[in-house]
Amino acid sequence: MGGQRTTSGDLLQLVRSGRATTRGALQEATGLSRATVGLRLDRLFRAGWLREGVAGPVGSPLGGRPSARLEFDTVHAVVLAADLGTRHARAAVLTLDGTPLAEHTRPLRVEDGPESVLGELGGWFAGLLDRAGRDPARVCGIGLAVPGPVDTSTGRVVQPPIMPGWDGHDIRGRLCHAFTARTGTGDVPVLVDNDANLMAYGEQRASFPGCSAFALVKVSTGIGAGVIVDGSVYRGIDGGAGDIGHVRVPAGADALCKCGSYGCLAAVASGRALARRLTDLGVPAASGSDVGALLAAGHPEAVRLAREAGRAVGEVLATVVTLLNPGVLMIAGDLAGTAFLTGVRELLYQRALPRSTARLEVVTARLGERAGLVGAGAMVVEELYGAERVEERLSALGV
């Protein structure tokens, strides 16, 4: 690090990452003097963001008595997180390390529009804070996962096929207002991203932190993918990366997609597509979650169609794997069961070059329905406690 250019935010980043967790280690890592390290740490202590733990058995790298271990205080604030699906939503109060303090899932239809849905979420958050016994003033930020492409610079969804009425809506402003109106607090930062991105972020951090190229495919009512490269979400230019549900496939030439085009993968292999086919066969189903329930019950037609869908997705993933060369490919969502995964494997290994799959792990989700919440919470923490934002926030606190 650059000596006198090293900030309090940089020191916090070193502590949070585990790269330097004593004053002496921070001196060695940054080249700063003991006095300067002390002054910059003091700002973090006064903000309540750092604490000193039990002294370790080994002394400072610079010699002397053992140094107290510096720790990021993960309970000085809380994060609100919500994962919005097409028909249900899950919301939670989380500590800064992702531990849930209160959560619930309720029916909530995305097609009811942003004003109604975000207003409802604001009420949920207020109730969850009460259940968790946390003061709304301790909320440092809100993270929201949505089932559509998001321009994260604005927090607005961009032409979302399965979110009618949401295109370009000020999600950040509306959700912030809904929360503050219920709690009487000041404005809080609101961050928004695609659900598959945040599921991938949560799953990679929790289960595969050493994987430098990680891909997650969510197959529920729609189909989307999240890609993590070197610990960061890869979003593309304006949030459109990973939208594999709209890759054209030969099997779907006559299938009309929700986006208005024919031939999209989502039109033949998503939960919505399978629900429609099951209904045509006399098995009522309206969404990916309905199909998932039928799969869990072992319904033979649902199992057959899920395997076919898996093969269609596997054919597209052969190209994805060849392009990205990930170490882990995770299948998640309502359809992520044995039948679907079997279909994916059949086509993926058949079509992709052995070189692309030799070190590839194909797995199912580990965090289950909480993945989006974990990712949304982590997104808020990484943004607000990243080196650049730390300086801005400390100045605002007057420390």
pLDDT digits (tens, 9 = 90+) for 114-171: 999 999 999 999 999 999 999 999 999 999 999 999 999 999 999 998 899 999 999 9
SS3 label, residue 67: strand
Q: In 3D, which of 133, 165, 166, 129 has the Cα closest to residue 151?
A: 166
* Per-residue tens of pLDDT for the chain, all 399 residues: 544 489 999 999 999 999 999 999 999 999 999 999 999 999 999 999 999 987 655 544 445 566 789 999 999 999 999 999 989 999 999 999 999 999 999 999 999 999 999 999 999 999 999 999 999 999 999 999 999 999 999 999 999 988 999 999 999 999 999 999 999 999 999 999 999 999 999 999 999 999 999 999 999 989 999 999 999 999 998 888 999 999 999 887 888 998 889 999 999 999 999 999 999 999 999 989 999 999 999 999 999 999 999 999 999 999 999 999 999 999 999 999 999 999 999 999 999 999 999 999 999 999 989 999 999 999 999 999 999 899 999 999 999
Residues of the chain with CATH 3.30.420.40: 78-197+373-397, 203-367
**Beta strands 156-157; 100-107: pairing state:** unpaired
Residue 344 near residue 330 (C-beta atoms within 8 A): no
Return the sign of the alpha-carbon dihedral for residues 3, 9, 12, 17. negative
Residues of the chain with CATH 1.10.10: 3-72
Q: In 3D, which of 131, 136, 144 has the Cα closest to residue 182?
A: 136
Going by C-beta distance under 8 Å and a sequence separation of 6 or more, which residues neighbour residue 273?
Answer: 255, 266, 267, 309
Q: In 3D, which of 282, 287, 339 has the Cα closest to residue 314?
A: 339
| pLDDT given at position 393 | 95
Residue 22 near residue 58 (C-beta atoms within 8 A): no
Residue 324 near residue 227 (C-beta atoms within 8 A): yes
| pLDDT given at position 60 | 46
Q: In 3D, which of 23, 18, 59 has the Cα closest to residue 39?
A: 23
- Opening angle at CA 186, ends 183 and 191, nearest 5: 95
| b (16+ CB within 10 A) / e for 266-297 | bbbbbbbbbbbbbeeeebebbbbbbbbebbee
Q: Domain 3-72, what architecture?
A: Orthogonal Bundle (1.10)
| pLDDT given at position 5 | 80
| pLDDT given at position 365 | 94
pLDDT for 383-397, tens place per residue?
Answer: 999 998 999 999 999
Q: Which parts of the chain are beta strand (E)? A: 50-59, 66-72, 78-84, 88-94, 100-107, 139-146, 150-151, 156-157, 190-194, 213-219, 223-229, 232-233, 328-332, 361-364
| pLDDT given at position 111 | 94
CATH topology of domain 203-367: Nucleotidyltransferase; domain 5 (3.30.420)
- Dist. CA 359–CA 72, nearest whole Å: 35
DSSP line for 150-218? EETTTTEE-S-TT-TT-TT--HHHHHHHHHHHHH------EEEEEHHHHHHHHHHHHH-TT-SEEEEEE
């979650």: which residue's tokens?
Answer: 289
Looking at residue 5, its amino acid is R
Match domain 78-197+373-397 to its CATH number in 3.20.110.10, 3.30.420.40, 3.30.479.30, 1.10.287.610: 3.30.420.40
